Chain A
């Protein structure tokens, strides 16, 4: 049975799509057959970040409307084996996602022996976001270290606990994981950003990782590669840790302390 993971946040621009791409790639690299679905119908960003935008023929809405088969619409990733992308439609409205249609696609992916299905949620708490989270078994709440993002994450946690299929059926609740992105320890130390402990205290859910603010994230998305593939980058390593924790492994937190400049840098300035 495929495990369905929704990547959601409420607020826009916090890194949901970047996170969806990296978590899906990370799970696939760990040997789990994984599909990542773009629920942001009308905007369509995931295919750009995964670098498959020129190979999109059919999309999620085509499959829901039975205009294409799932096999025709799924795009095999060229960097990672066992990773498939189901892109969003750019020409439809979010209402094109029907609950029955989404369920049918998820069931079909399960029947194709996928281990994980990562659902990249659109921002907001409207129909598209509700559809992305409705069938979830686990949720990764992407939060930036600032108050409005934390508030929206709190709101989406309330929706997960009341409007999901698991909540409606009275099943075991969705497993919630906090992922803090764009974390800048220097700015936290200067009081410009919320600290890790503050965010965890406010949201009261366990964390699967902290992704530091890192130039490699933008470089990787411009190049159409999930940043987790960039093994030298701090963000890539932090995502690899988050995937390990998602799979139940223990990893110490990294990249959360202020980087102290070395002796020579302090003495001469500039790059060491």
Chain B
């Protein structure tokens, strides 16, 4: 065989270069302030909640709230990188902000914005695979139209995190211990729920958790949480629903 590299490529039937439009799932960092002091404090606070999950995570900067404000792109990027996040793109900024960020090496995603809305709508069954196999430990599907559920067909493993942004999360497999299911809406788990489940994280107090087999390490509705040890013995392993009644977390058999 003449050249091992060439042989491998030929065997795999793959051309040396391929350009494909793939939907990747990325974190969005929405900036509510251009003030470095405020941002620093907020970042420290945010990252303290889950330091490892965000380690070297690629993020998209959303500047929608900063329209018209002066932005020191270099200082902003240095601050974000200092907290071990990797800015890979920016959007919703005004022309001057986008130019400054592009000059600092962070491309503008304006072109992608227009495509996003229809993509969320006609995604249907395909999306579940994308979500389960995405590279980052934190898996966030692209912004879907309100009420579009994120459906995950594979088990969610220890160390994996799934975030259903703006809607419900439906998990057909099991959620292993050490995983995190997060949704702005409700969470439905058809396998055993053994990891953590946090619904209504955007403050939706009407969100609920439904599961076939409750063995969760932690359950939370809109920030009100309970640990496994606090769950009544009689409900463990049972099909249950969990919701917020006033400030009281309620767990009941279905």
Interface residues of A (CB under 8 A from B): 1, 104, 107-108, 110-111, 151-152, 154-155, 157-159, 161-163, 167-168, 170, 173, 201-202, 204
Q: How many residues of B contact A (CB 8 A)?
A: 28
Residues of B within 8 A of A158 (CB): 157-160, 179
Cross-interface CB contact of B155 among A1, A162, A173, A204, cutoff 8 Å:
A204
User: B173 contacts A204, CB within 8 Å?
Assistant: yes
User: A110 contacts B4, CB within 8 Å?
Assistant: yes
User: B133 contacts A167, CB within 8 Å?
Assistant: yes
User: A110 contacts B178, CB within 8 Å?
Assistant: no
Residues of A within 8 A of B22 (CB): 170
Cross-interface CB contact of A110 among B7, B135, B173, B191, cutoff 8 Å:
B7
User: A151 contacts B178, CB within 8 Å?
Assistant: yes
User: A154 contacts B7, CB within 8 Å?
Assistant: no
Residues of B within 8 A of A110 (CB): 4, 7-8, 11
Interface residues of B (CB under 8 A from A): 1, 4-5, 7-8, 11-12, 22, 132-137, 154-155, 157-160, 173-174, 176-179, 191-192
Residues of B within 8 A of A108 (CB): 4
Q: Is the interface of A mostly helix, strand, loop or mixed?
A: helix
Residues of A within 8 A of B12 (CB): 1
Q: Which 9 A-B pairs have the closest CB atoms?
A: A158-B157, A107-B4, A154-B158, A155-B158, A111-B1, A111-B4, A107-B8, A158-B160, A154-B176
User: A167 contacts B4, CB within 8 Å?
Assistant: no
CA A201 to CA B237, docked complex, whole Å: 14
CA A157 to CA B132, docked complex, whole Å: 12
User: A161 contacts B132, CB within 8 Å?
Assistant: yes
CA A163 to CA B1, docked complex, whole Å: 30
Taking A108-B4, A155-B178, A204-B173 as contacts, is the C-beta distance between A173 and B159 under 8 angstroms? no
Residues of A within 8 A of B132 (CB): 161
Name, among B8, B132, B154, the residue most crowded by chain A CB atoms within 10 Å (CB to CB).
B8
